[in-house]
Amino acid sequence: MAIREDAQEIINQALKSCLPDKAVRRALQGKEFGDGKIVMVAIGKAAWQMARCGAECLGERLSSGIVITKYGHSMGDIERCKIVEAGHPVPDKNSFEGTKQAMELVKNLNREDTVIFLISGGGSALFESPLISPEELTDLTNKLLNCGANIVEMNTIRKRISAVKGGKFAKLCAPASVYAVVLSDILGDPLDMIASGPACCDSSTCEQALDIINKYRISISKQVLKLLKIETPKSLDNVKTVVTGSVRELCLAAAKTCESLGYETIILTDQLECQAREAGLMLSSIARTYANSNKSIAFIVGGETVVRVSGDGKGGRNQELALAAAEGISGLENVVIFSVGSDGTDGPTDAAGGIVEGLTADKLHILGMDIHKILEKNDAYPALKAVGGLIFTGPTGTNVNDIACVLMRKNEEQQD
């Protein structure tokens, strides 16, 4: 099996291990709820997959539900549920309309009723009822995306300009009970930050929110400033939460497959959090260090990098990581570096990520493409496409951060 085929097998098996079906079933099957009605709200890029399992587990007990997911992530009807596809990473009118319907669904419930709340990554954009104009929300979201703010910083701001984030949705559900099943997409699984914590009391403070604005020198209106100074809910007594799925599980599954393919495997970290380009350079330096070892080795990292936008090109953080690694492994044989988003989409593109090898840099040079200039333009997608370096999985139904890997295969001629 060629090393590129090994890479694809590792990706496939890792993603398969983190699909939410089993986790949702485990969380719901045999679970007893109150005698009242049960409604279901599912949000995020994995919402459809989670809701389908939820509906199957609940059966006739489910009164009604709504699924709010990213465009292209719905795979058909779900019984007794309305499906709304909406904008990500920037909320759009469907995000607002779907959230409005969810708010109506939980309105006027009593103490015997239960809200099954299925939460996955992407919920921050998809589940939104802004306290500012949609235009201002879009502008602020773009500023946060482009300045290099990480997901925790972004959500600290988002929850203060929203009517549903930062525990506010759980407040709307009261006095009904909320049973939240969370598929984590944030390092360390902080419940108040995943999808901006719509069913979790908020640990962040107004002071921290204002510090983020100052840190990145983001210009805001007087209305936003006023909202950032209003504290979020700090206690909730109607919520029980189960966390399922994480980038750690993704890394462990990838490691298991690597080992089955004959690679000595090391998980370097499942807490990667830095600029995508820096991560790519780091992985390529590791490849150079072990280039002459004549061993089959795999180095795995999991987490979520960020991109500081300086151009108007097309790409995503995983593609940028891979492209940044290409020059460092130039000329190395039997080496590949790949990076993939577990949800199957990387930035505003149809690719899940990118993969590079020892010949990638030379191929780009022959085509007249300069890696440094491409990265400055944030234009990794067309460059990788030109050399067969894009990875496509389609929407996966899950979302537990990203995984990147250095694969180094022992030369066949020198094997014992």
Q: What is the pLDDT of residue 189?
A: 72
Which range (165-174, 224-233, 266-275, 404-413) has the least confidence? 404-413
Q: Return the sign of the alpha-carbon dihedral for residues 229, 307, 5, 385.
A: positive
| pTM as predicted | 0.72
Q: What is the pLDDT of residue 1?
A: 58
Q: How far apart are CA 163 and CA 159, in angstroms?
A: 8
Instruction: Write out 261-304 in H/E/C secondary structure.
Output: CCCEEEEEEEEECCEHHHHHHHHHHHHHHCCCCCCCEEEEEEEC
Phi, psi of 369 (to 5 degrees): -105, 125
Residues whose CB falls within 8 Å of the CB of residue 21, separated by 6 or more in sequence, listed in order: 49, 53
Q: Return the sign of the alpha-carbon dihedral for residues 355, 360, 361, 365.
A: negative
11-20, 124-133, 314-323: which is most confident: 314-323
Mean pLDDT of the chain: 92
Mean predicted confidence (pLDDT) in 10-25: 88
Grouping H, G, I as helix, E, B as strand and the rest as coil, residue 415 is coil
Q: How far apart are CA 26 and CA 15, in angstroms?
A: 19
Mean predicted confidence (pLDDT) in 373-388: 97
pLDDT at 356 over 70: yes
Helix H or strand E segment including 177: strand 177-183
Give per-residue pLDDT as tens, 102-141: 999 999 999 999 999 999 888 888 999 999 999 998 899 8
Helix H or strand E segment including 403: strand 402-408
Which range (42-46, 231-235, 242-246, 363-367) has the least confidence? 242-246
Q: What is the pLDDT of residue 416?
A: 44
Structural domains in the chain, sorted by start: 3-14+248-410 (3.40.1480.10), 19-244 (3.40.50.10180)
Mean predicted confidence (pLDDT) in 345-372: 96
Q: How far apart are CA 317 and CA 148, in angstroms?
A: 11
Confidence band (pLDDT; 50, 70, 90) for 412?
A: low
| Distance, CA of 297 to chain centre | 27
Read off the tokens for 71: 């465009």
Give per-residue pLDDT as tens, 263-310: 999 999 999 999 999 999 999 999 999 999 999 999 999 999 999 888
Q: How far apart are CA 151 and CA 355, in angstroms?
A: 24
Give per-residue pLDDT as tens, 147-198: 988 878 988 998 999 999 999 999 999 999 999 999 877 777 778 777 888 9
Q: Prior bond to 175 cis, omega within 30?
A: yes
Higher pLDDT, 355 or 18: 355
Mean predicted confidence (pLDDT) in 358-364: 97
Q: What is the pLDDT of residue 264?
A: 98
